[in-house]
A and B are shown apart, each in its own frame.
Chain A
Amino acid sequence: MFKNEEMEINLGPQHPSTHGVLRVKLRLDGETVTHCRPMIGYLHRGVEKICENQSFFQGQVWTDRMDYCSAVANNLGWAEANEKLFGITVPRRAQYIRTLLNEFNRIASHLIWLGTHAMDIGALTVFLYAFREREDVLDINEAFCGSRLTTTAFRIGGLREDLPPGFEKMVRKFLAKFSDCLEEYENLLTENRIWKKRTIGVARLSAEDAIALGVTGPMLRAAGVAYDIRKAFPYAAYAEMDFEIPTRPEADTYARYQVRMAEMRQSARIIQQCMDGMPEGPVMAKLPKILRSEVNEVYHATESPKGEIGYYLVGEKGSLNPYRFHVRAPGFINLQSLPKMAEGGLIADVVAAIGSLDIVLGEIDR
């Protein structure tokens, strides 16, 4: 009468807690997950192929649309990979402004993660609080480059324009209140009994597994590995900044929460340093009118809020567009750790695991 039968169900593709169109195939034994496979490809737009058919200058608008929560970080990677390909040196003021905006973007991305991850687990209030501060960051984006989400913030060789008037005031106003806001979120979550029960010990991913799967970003740092490309291979103006890499040894969902909260504090610190030590000078390097590549290949990795985002570009002699373009998307590679985290756990913890991955499907499917 009581047969021990396994049931196969789909989580998604249109599930509110999958952050896009992700389908997770689950095999359940009662409430325990025995088998878990993420199915991707519902948001595939062929960004890599489009970029191969467009000029180096035009390619940037597509990087906005991969990971739309951290468009500035994607722009930075694209611009720096191209500068490496063409051997362009960017002025120091442009480097500082890039660093500043990139850190703002990290804060915005982590705030989205905090809000949606807490909402998945059941704490709705944090979502509204986090989006309140994210609005200010988007206003800063809008003041600088005219757009809030799909920024197209940088250009190959520097920036399109210098900082707008009144920008410093906006930034200082944000920094003055942001540490209080972070405390407000932590008051809601850090000692919250329900939050702790839902996250401590849930979806563990050990450091060995994380390294074997190629997981990067806050996921890896929450497993106790202090690897951050901003420190390991400094780019933009990060070599001149003083900041720490927050790590936690526990490797569970709660540790990832703590790492990301600490990262936002460090980001605010970097913004403060950028603002204080902003050098004067031009923001755009001297460029030829048309960028024509040589036979060359380049891989450039930067630390996006989700992890290591790498751009691989192959140039062709005299060509206006890249011969081959490939993105090492952090979300795509981090998602491969989902079976490792979810198998053997409860089905309710799959949602916590997906939330703690901080994935954006636009980037995974590209």
Chain B
Amino acid sequence: MNKFLRTLLPADIAKGLSVTGKHFSQVFFTANRRKVPFHIVSEYPEVPAKVQPRFRGRLTMLKDEQGVIKCICCLACEKICPTQVITIEKGKQEGRKMPYPVRYDFEMERCIFCEFCVESCGFDAIILNHQFELAAYNREDFSLGTVGLDQNMFEPSHVGKFSVADD
């Protein structure tokens, strides 16, 4: 019985509540969270999240200064990919000595964002950009490429365009 009564000590309850009160008052008197640096959480969809410079986001192809695709179809990225999400079709383009990728397909639904492809590329033709909001409604939206309607290997894709931060 004595033991049970000790569990109801008001001193313990007050101690616990004082911690809660301290944190509550900190938040309560600084209501606008955007301006307060010591808050640990941020209002994410309204305030865009910052990522580190090395962040591994979605695979993107690069073009050089003349707007020509840098990729020369060495197939290194296709071979190194642990989940085989890259498919390249080699071809020729008029006025270009190097092979030209007729198709460069990227199946994002299976991509694991390991950056092995970028590491293997000797021509700096691909990078992983900083896009991380990659949800979409349809499975087809994850099949990216260089030809056809899904020509979005060069800029941030329509996948993720439903983010609140863009509105």
Contact = CB atoms under 8 A, between A and B. Distances in A.
A135 B40 CA distance: 9
Contacts of B82: 54, 58, 61-62
Interface string B107-135: 00000111110010000000010000000
B112 A150 contact: yes
A144 interface: yes
A193 interface: yes
B75 to A, nearest CB: 15
Interface in A39-86: 54, 57-58, 61-62
B80 A139 contact: no
A58 B52 contact: no
Interface in B21-76: 40, 51-56
Given A135-B40, A160-B119, A193-B7, A61 B52 contact: no
Given A132-B40, A135-B40, A193-B7, A146 B56 contact: yes
Contact of B54 (A58, A62, A164): A164
Nearest to B15: A187
Contacts of A160: 119
B130 to A, nearest CB: 10
Contacts of A146: 52, 54-56, 115, 128
Nearest to A50: B82
Contact of B55 (A61, A142, A150, A152): A142
Contacts, number: 46
Interface residues of B, number: 19
A229 interface: no
A359 to B, nearest CB: 24
A194 B111 CA distance: 46
A296 interface: no
B113 A142 contact: no
B56 A147 contact: yes
Contacts of B12: 193
B43 to A, nearest CB: 16
A278 interface: no
A143 interface: yes
A142 B51 contact: yes
B116 A145 contact: no
* Best-buried of B55, B82, B113 by chain A (most CB within 10 Å): B82
Nearest to A150: B112
B112 A145 contact: no
Given A58-B116, A135-B40, A142 B80 contact: no
17 contacts: A57-B80, A58-B80, A58-B116, A61-B82, A61-B112, A61-B116, A142-B52, A142-B54, A142-B55, A146-B128, A147-B56, A147-B113, A152-B114, A161-B54, A164-B52, A193-B7, A193-B12
Interface of B: 6-7, 12, 40, 51-56, 80, 82, 112-116, 119, 128
